[in-house]
């Protein structure tokens, strides 16, 4: 479900590069729900295609707010409109830059490992594979 960042990724429905996302079938307690390898450190640019990909892959829709570690992103708007719904976005210093949490209107939540934009291809592939297995871990930062 992912593609190599160094190659020209295929367009999904004509809307830009292929979404590099791997979702776990059934994560265990305390594990993540998948892994995601964005193309930039601008969460406002990266979140809409991620949400579209989550909807296409699993029917998940209706995010209410997103939180991510401040260390993982250069830019993040306070809110963004996705699919007719305003989604609040927060960068928090206490969260690890490798974790993105999406909370939905129905109370569900998805936790994704965020692969750094500049990660080498083999590192990103391993992280996506671990995320798809629901076995990825987050290294906690002391900040």
Q: pTM of the full predicted structure? A: 0.80
The pLDDT assigned to 32 comes to: 86
The angle formed by the CA atoms of residues 36, 41 and 45, to the nearest 5 degrees, is 80
State the Cα–Cα distance between residues 140 and 108, nearest whole angstrom: 23
Q: Tell me the β-bridge partners of 85.
A: 82
List, for residues 83-125, the tens digit of each pLDDT value.
888 999 999 887 667 899 999 998 889 999 999 999 999 999 9
Q: Which structure tokens are listed for 77?
A: 């708007």
The DSSP code sequence of 75-98 is B--SEEEETTEEEEEEEETTS-TT
State the Cα–Cα distance between residues 4 and 18, nearest whole angstrom: 9
């Amino acid at each position: 479900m992912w593609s190599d960042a160094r190659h020209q990724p295929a367009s999904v429905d004509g809307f830009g590069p292929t979404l590099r996302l791997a979702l776990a079938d059934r994560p265990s307690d305390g594990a993540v729900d998948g892994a995601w390898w964005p193309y930039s450190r601008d969460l406002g640019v990266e979140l809409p295609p991620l949400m579209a990909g989550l909807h296409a892959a699993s029917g998940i829709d209706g995010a209410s707010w997103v939180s991510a570690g401040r260390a993982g992103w250069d830019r993040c708007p306070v809110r963004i409109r996705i699919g007719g719904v305003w989604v609040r976005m927060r960068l928090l210093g206490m969260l690890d830059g490798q974790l993105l949490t999406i909370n939905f209107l129905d109370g569900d939540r998805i936790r994704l490992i965020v692969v750094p934009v500049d990660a080498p291809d083999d590192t990103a592939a391993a992280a996506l594979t671990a995320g798809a297995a629901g076995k990825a871990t987050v290294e906690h930062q002391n900040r």
